Amino acid sequence: MPDTVKRPLIEARKLTKIYRLGTGEVVGINSIDFNVSERELVVLKGNSGSGKSTLLALLAGLDQPTHGDLIVADQDLRKATPGQLTQYRREVVGMVFQSFNLLPTLTVLENVSLPSLLAGRRRPKVAAKAMELLAWLHLTPRLHHLPAQLSGGEMQRTAIARALINEPAIILADEPTGNLDSQNGKTVMELLGNLNRELGTTVIIATHSDLADPIATTIIRLRDGSITDWICTA
Amino acid sequence: MHRLTPFFRIWTWFSFRQLRDHFWRTMAVLVGIGLGAAVFTSVRLAVDASLDSFTRSVDALSGKSDWTVLCPGGRAPESLISKLIRHPAVQAVSPLSTIYVETDNATAGPILLIGLDPLLDRSFRVWQPEPSDSAQQSPHQTSEIGNRQSKWLELVREPFTLIVGEKLYAKFHLQTGQSLILVHPQGKKSFRVLGKLAPQGLALVEGGEIALTDLATFQEFTGTNGFVDRIDLMLKRSAPRDAADQIRALLPAGVTLEPPAELKESGRLMVRSYQLNLSVLSFVSLFVGMFLVYSLISLHATSRRHELAILRSLGASSRLIFFLFLSEGAFFGCVGWLLAIPLGSFMVKHLLAHVSNTISHLFVRVQVDRLLLDPWEILLSFSTTLFVSLLAAWQPAHEAMRVPPREVLQTHESGPAYPRPARNLALCGLLLIGLVWPLSCLPGTNGVPLAGYAATFLLFAGFSLIAPWLLQIIGVLVPPLLRALAGEPAYLGGRYIRDAGTRIAISVGALITAMALFVALVIMIHSFRKTVEAWVTQSISGDLYLRPKMAAANQYRDVLPPEVVSALKGLQTTMDIIPYRRMVLHYGRTSYQFEVLDFDSFMKHAQMLFVEGDAQLVLPQLEEGKGVIVSEVFANQTGIGIGKRFEAQIGQTRLDLPVLGIIRDYRTQGGVVYYSMKQFQELSGDTAWSGVRFNLAGRESSTEDAVNLLRSQVLRVLDQHQYGVEITLGRDLRQTILKIFDETFAITTVLLLIALAVATLGITSTLTVLVLDRTRQFHTILACGGTRGQIRLMIFWEALIMVFAGALLGLLCGFFLSYLLVFVINRQSFGWTFMYIVDWIPLLVASPLILATALLAALPASQIVFRLPPAMVLREQ
φ, ψ of residue B751 in degrees (nearest 5): -60, -40
A18 touches chain B (CB under 8 A): no
Separation in Å, CA of B318 to nearest CA in chain A: 9
pLDDT in tens, A155-209: 999 999 999 999 999 999 999 998 888 888 999 999 999 999 988 999 999 998 8
Answer yes or no: is A9 within a domain: no
Separation in Å, CA of B267 to nearest CA in chain A: 58
As beta bridge partners, residue B256 has B70
Q: Which of A55, A85, A86 to mutate to test the interface with B (most CBs of B within 10 A)?
A: A86
Answer yes or no: is A11 within a domain: no
Which value does ipTM take for this structure?
0.85
Classify B719 in phi/psi space as left (phi over 0), alpha (psi -120 to 50) or beta.
left
What whole-number distance in Å separates Cα of residue B660 and Cα of residue B653?
20
- Nearest chain A residue to B875 by CA distance is A179
Which chain B residues are closer than 8 Å to A104 by Cβ?
307
Separation in Å, CA of B454 to nearest CA in chain A: 40
What whole-number distance in Å separates Cα of residue B299 and Cα of residue B294?
8
Across the interface, do A103 and B313 touch by the CB < 8 Å criterion? no
- Nearest chain A residue to B310 by CA distance is A101
What whole-number distance in Å separates Cα of residue B364 and Cα of residue B358?
9
User: Across the interface, which of A83, A101, A103 has its CB nearest the CB of B14?
Assistant: A103
Q: Is the pTM of this model over 0.90?
A: no
Edge to edge, what strands does the sheet with A170-174 contain?
Answer: A93-96, A170-174, A202-206, A41-45, A218-223, A226-232
Q: Which of A18, A26, A62, A175 to mutate to test the interface with B (most CBs of B within 10 A)?
A: A62
Separation in Å, CA of B324 to nearest CA in chain A: 13
User: Across the interface, which of B6, B408, B876 has its CB nearest the CB of A101?
Assistant: B408
Across the interface, do A120 and B3 touch by the CB < 8 Å criterion? yes
Separation in Å, CA of B876 to nearest CA in chain A: 9
A104 touches chain B (CB under 8 A): yes
Contact residues of B toward A, CB < 8 A:
3, 5-6, 9-10, 13-14, 17-18, 21, 306-307, 310-318, 320, 404-406, 408-409, 411, 876-877
Separation in Å, CA of B313 to nearest CA in chain A: 6
State residue B708's pLDDT score: 86
Answer yes or no: is A14 within a domain: no
Strand-strand pairing, B210-214 and B111-116 = parallel
Across the interface, do A118 and B10 touch by the CB < 8 Å criterion? yes
Across the interface, do A115 and B314 touch by the CB < 8 Å criterion? yes
Which chain A residues are closer than 8 Å to B314 by Cβ?
89-90, 95, 114-115, 118, 162
A108 touches chain B (CB under 8 A): no
| Cβ–Cβ < 8 Å for A170, A204 | yes
Which residues form the domain of A113?
38-64+73-232
Across the interface, do B317 and A110 touch by the CB < 8 Å criterion? no
Which chain B residues are closer than 8 Å to A179 by Cβ?
876
State residue B590's pLDDT score: 81
In order of B282, B769, B792, the CA distances from B765 in angstroms are 22, 6, 17
Across the interface, do B314 and A123 touch by the CB < 8 Å criterion? no
Burial class from Cβ neighbours inside 10 Å (0-12, 13-18, 19+) for residue A21 reads exposed
| Cβ–Cβ < 8 Å for A230, A218 | yes
Across the interface, do B14 and A162 touch by the CB < 8 Å criterion? no
What whole-number distance in Å separates Cα of residue B806 and Cα of residue B814?
12
**The dihedral sign for the CA sequence B233, B239, B242, B248:** negative
What whole-number distance in Å separates Cα of residue B648 and Cα of residue B655?
5
Burial class from Cβ neighbours inside 10 Å (0-12, 13-18, 19+) for residue B582 reads buried
pLDDT in tens, B156-170: 889 999 999 988 888
List the alpha helices (DSSP H) in B304-317.
305-313
In order of B79, B185, B710, the CA distances from B725 in angstroms are 30, 6, 16
Which chain A residues are closer than 8 Å to B18 by Cβ?
105
CA B680, chain centre distance (Å): 36
A17 touches chain B (CB under 8 A): no
List the alpha helices (DSSP H) in B656-729.
677-684, 704-718
| Cβ–Cβ < 8 Å for A162, A112 | yes
Radius of gyration of chain B (CA): 34
Residues of chain A with pLDDT under 70: 1-6, 234
Answer yes or no: is A7 within a domain: no
Which chain B residues are closer than 8 Å to A86 by Cβ?
312, 315-318
| Cβ–Cβ < 8 Å for A68, A14 | yes
User: Across the interface, which of A83, A95, A117 has its CB nearest the CB of B9?
Assistant: A117
Which chain A residues are closer than 8 Å to B5 by Cβ?
123
Separation in Å, CA of B846 to nearest CA in chain A: 43
Which chain A residues are closer than 8 Å to B877 by Cβ?
99
Which chain A residues are closer than 8 Å to B310 by Cβ?
101-103
> Could you tell me what percentage of chain A is helix, strand and coil, using 3-state DSSP and rounding each to the nearest 5?
35, 30, 35
Q: What is the CATH number of the domain that holds A147?
A: 3.40.50.300
Answer yes or no: is A3 within a domain: no
Answer yes or no: is A2 within a domain: no
Across the interface, do A103 and B21 touch by the CB < 8 Å criterion? no
User: Across the interface, which of A82, A89, A123 has its CB nearest the CB of B313?
Assistant: A89
User: Across the interface, which of B316, B404, B876 has its CB nearest the CB of A118?
Assistant: B316
Residues in chain B: 877
| Chains A, B: CB pairs < 8 Å | 87
In the Cβ-directed half-sphere of B118, how many Cα atoms lie within 13 Å? 23
Across the interface, do A105 and B316 touch by the CB < 8 Å criterion? no
Q: Which of A44, A93, A118, A149 to mutate to test the interface with B (most CBs of B within 10 A)?
A: A118
A98 touches chain B (CB under 8 A): yes
Total count of domains within chain A? 1
Q: Which of B14, B409, B875 to mutate to test the interface with A (most CBs of A within 10 A)?
A: B409
Q: What residues 111-170 of chain A have any CB closer than 8 A to a CB of chain B?
A: 114-115, 117-120, 123, 162, 166
List the alpha helices (DSSP H) in A78-220.
82-91, 108-118, 123-136, 152-164, 182-199
Answer yes or no: is A15 within a domain: no
Q: Which of B314, B317, B401, B403 to mutate to test the interface with A (most CBs of A within 10 A)?
A: B314
Answer yes or no: is A1 within a domain: no
Residues of chain B with pLDDT under 50: 134-138, 141, 413-418, 876-877
State residue B131's pLDDT score: 75
Across the interface, do A120 and B6 touch by the CB < 8 Å criterion? yes
What whole-number distance in Å separates Cα of residue B308 and Cα of residue A74?
28
User: Across the interface, which of A91, A117, A174 has its CB nearest the CB of B10?
Assistant: A117
